[in-house]
Structure 1
């Protein structure tokens, strides 16, 4: 990270580097929402657990993302490490105080918050799609936009994660990925390595 990055202003005083192992919790629903987290490496998921034990994944967060924003004093969802993660945790009250004297920091926090809201809006639209193939196409496009190579993605998350993100069963996710492969829209290099051989075709499915 560049030393000129606005959040680095906060690192020496209120930022703490935290390492979280794969599938371990970062924070839990109903805990005090006194911390924001920025991902240095790895992937995290934010999710909601229903009384039945069913899980709905709200978002996946990767390097550079900031999450943990809440309007109230307690977390409304939980966060877990999808893979081994290195995070920087920032005191929410400390960031608020520093932002009063550092406009760039306030602007960056606002930008991260708006990005999370846009992702939530896009995900709500995705969940509203009627067909599994449209949901999977939208998900693959989202991952493509995160990737350094838009036509090649590595799925850090499991198919169970994908199913819980899209509101589908694991069997439906596997069957739909096979359907996309048979129609030559994607090609598997390895189990979690996917070439998007027809990105425009995926975009057409998503429209």
Structure 2
């Protein structure tokens, strides 16, 4: 079974999304610009409108861990605590709707917001469990294959051939998968050399052999 762990952001419930469209302020962020910082107060709710966002955390030894990637309609940094455990940055030019949590609760009601927080917590737990499995039990090739498959499934759930966007950098992938950038680049080269995928520059690829990629990602 393929793990769709790379792109399973927390989609906003319809009621919350509607309220955010009415109350939210659109903020534009350039590539690599910070949206919120690790340990900032979590008093704002963020909804990705366009582009893509990554969450990151700096470890005590200075290394960076990428937590997840978020896409349009995903809620980012919806915390159960009072501070953000991860920081968030735009991977590319992005637009994010921002609403104060208090305003959202006043307009949508505590129950709606609480349900959104619960759903966000459930999905984050599932994401974390899948991520731990990948980090601890998969080879480098399996990790990279799983990552590419999850990207492809997000854009093309029926397996239809076509170009798949990959907005994150090789370093983002490495920091997410617990690999070095050299290893990620080598695995991508191997997959292309085996005609499993075909890259169009650094940010787009096409799956040429779905069954082979699924087998590698399993």
Deviating 4+ runs (over 6 angstroms): none
Moved more, 78-87 or 45-54: 45-54
Partners of 2:80 and 2:117 in 1: CA distance: 14
Structure 1 residue 107: deviation in Å?
Answer: 4.8
Query: Which runs of 5 or more structure 2 residues have no equivalent in the other structure?
Result: 1-13
| Residue of structure 2 equivalent to 1:81 | 90
By relative contact order (CA 8 Å, sep 6+), the higher-ranking structure is 2
- 1:161 counterpart residue number: 172
Q: Which runs of 5+ in 1 are unaligned?
A: none
User: 1:192 maps to what in 2?
Assistant: 203
Matches within 5 A, 1:1-207: 5-6=14-15, 7-13=17-23, 15-100=24-109, 103=112, 107=115, 110-148=118-156, 150=159, 151=161, 152-207=163-218
Contact 1:65 1:112 in 2 (8 A): no
State the secondary structure of the residue aligned to 2:84. coil
Count of residue correspondences: 202
TM-score norm. by structure 1 comes to 0.87
Whether the 8 Å CA contact 1:129–1:135 is kept in 2: the answer is: no
Using the TM superposition, name which of 50-59 and 171-180 deviates more.
50-59
- In 2: Cα distance, 1:200 partner to 1:125 partner: 22
Q: Measure, in 2, the Cα distance between the counterparts of 1:132 and 1:40.
A: 33
**Per the alignment, do residues 81 and 168 of structure 1 end up closer, same or farther by CA in structure 2, a change over 3 Å counting?**
same
Cα contact 2:174–2:180 (8 A) shared by 1:
yes
Shift of residue 109 of structure 1?
5.4
